[in-house]
Structure 1
Amino acid sequence: MTRIIGGLAGGARLHVPVRGTRPTSERVREAIFSALDARSLCDGARVLDLFAGSGALGLEAASRGAESVVLVERDRAAAKVAIRNAETVAKAGATRALVEQVAVTPFLQRSGRSFDLVFIDPPYDQPDDELTAVLIDLGPLLSHPATVVVERAKKAGPLEPPGDLEVERTRNYGDTTLHYLTTTGAFADH
C-alpha cells in the first residue's frame, strides 16, 4: 500500500496494481515533490502522468493543488486501480483526476490539451528511442514554461531530450534516476 504524502489528501492510502507496474518509491516521490513545491510548480498546474500505474505521481500533484490531472495507463487492471485512487484523493477535496485507459503514443497524438507539469515513469527496460519518441510527441502539448520529470533506471545513463526540452538537473536515488526537464520555448505558440 502506498500513500499520498502531502496536501489535501495527505495520508490517504492508495492501492497498487497487483502486477505489471513498478510504483515510484515514497522516498523518490518525496524528493520529486520537495523539488516541485520549492518552485510552486503543482499549484494551479495542468498535470499529465504518463505510464501512470496507480496514479501516485499525478494524484500527489492533485493533492497539492493542481488545477487538472490526467493519468494515462494502458493496462486495464492498473487503470481501474488508478480510477479507484483518483476517487479517494477527490473525496479529500483535491482535484478529481481523469484516467485515460490508452497507450501513451495514441493519447499524445490525439490529446490537443496543454500541460504545465508532466511525469513520465515508463518501464525501466523501455528503449531510449521509444522514450525519445514519447518526448517528441509530448513537445507540442507543453505550455511554456513547463516541467517534465522523467524517472528511469540509473543504469540507463544520461537522457538526451529532443527539440524544445533541456535537462535542468538529474538526481540519483538508489537504482532510480530523476531527470528534470524544462521547455526552452520553441513550442510556445499556444
Structure 2
Amino acid sequence: MGHKNPPRRKQDKSTPRSQLRIIAGEWRGRKLEFLATDGLRPTPDRVRETLFNWIQTVVPGAQCLDMFSGSGALGFEALSRGAERMTFIERDAAAARQLNANLQNLKAQNGEIIQTDVLAWLETRQQDQESKYDLVFLDPPFRQNLIAPCCALLESKNLLRDNAYIYIETESELANPDVPPHWQEYRNKTAGQVTYRLYKRA
C-alpha cells in the first residue's frame, strides 16, 4: 500500500547535527558528525580522556563491543587507538546511518554497524558460538533499568573473555549498578550528572 510520508533518509537532513572530536590515536583531532537527537549524549571529552587513560594498555588489538552506540564517541576513539575490531549496536536508523557514514569517512575497515535493539541482539546470540569481547562499552539511556539485563546476557551468552573490561556509564544517582558478582570494580568517577565505572571480569 502506498504512502505519502517522505523517505526516512531525507528526514536525516532536518535533524540538527553536532560534532565530536577524536582525542588521540590515528585519527587524533578528526571531527565526526552525529545527529543531535533527544536523549543522545556523547560521552564528554574529559570523561573519554579519563576512561582511555584507564584502559590504554587494553585497547590495542582488542575485540570491542559498543552497545547503545549513539554518536559512536567511545567506539571511534577505541578504533583510533588501535582496537582490532569494533561492533557498534544502535537501534535508531538515522543514527546508525551516520555511524556508517563516519566509518566510511575514516576509511575504517574494522568497524561493523548493527542497527537493532541491544537486548534483542543479545537474546539472539548463540551461546559459545560467537566472538568473545575484550572490551565492552555499556552506555544506555538513563533511568531505563537496562544495565542488569545487558550484563546478565553478556554472561549467559558467554560473550566475554576471561579478563574482559566492561565500561558502564550511568546517571549519578544510581549507587550500585546490578552487575555479576565476579565483575570487580576497577575504577569509578563522577562528573556532574554522570557516574562512570570500569569493571574487570575476574
TM norm structure 1? 0.87
2:109 & 2:21 partners in 1: Cα distance? 17
Deviations 1:5-45 (A, max 9, x none): 111111111112230311111111111111111xx110000
Q: Give RMSD over aligned pairs.
A: 1.4
Structure 1 counterpart of 2:51:
32
Q: Does 1:53 align with 2:53?
A: no
Compute the displacement of 1:165 (Å). 2.1
Provide, for residues 88-142 of structure 1, a one-character-per-residue CA deviation record: whole Å limited to 9, x for no partner: 33x3xx5531000011112223342210000011011222xx3101001012100
- Report the number of matched residues: 177
Q: Which has the higher helix share?
A: 1
2:155 is the counterpart of 1:141: no
TM-score of the aligned structures, taking structure 2 as reference length: 0.83
Q: What residue in structure 1 maps to residue 15 of structure 2?
A: none
Question: In structure 1, what is the equivalent of residue 185 of structure 2?
Answer: 167
CA distance in 1, matches of 2:187, 2:171: 16
Larger Rg: 2
Q: Which moved more, 1:17-26 or 1:156-165?
A: 156-165
Gaps of 5+ in 1: 185-190
What secondary structure does 1:124 align onto? coil
32, 40, 43: which one aligns with 2:60: 43
Alignment of 1:67-146 (within 5 A): 67-89=84-106, 91=107, 95-111=109-125, 112-127=130-145, 130-139=146-155, 140-146=158-164
- Aligned residue identity for 2:52: F
Task: Give the CA deviation at 1:163.
Answer: 4.7
- Cα distance in 1 for partners of 2:124, 2:150 equals 13
Task: State the Cα deviation string for residues 29-87 of structure 1 (Å, max 9, x = none).
Answer: 111111111xx110000000000001110111011001100000001011111111222
Establish whether residue 22 from structure 1 lines up as the match of residue 36 from structure 2.
no
Aligned-pair identity in percent equals 34
Shift of 1:166: 2.7
| Aligned-partner SS, 2:41 | coil
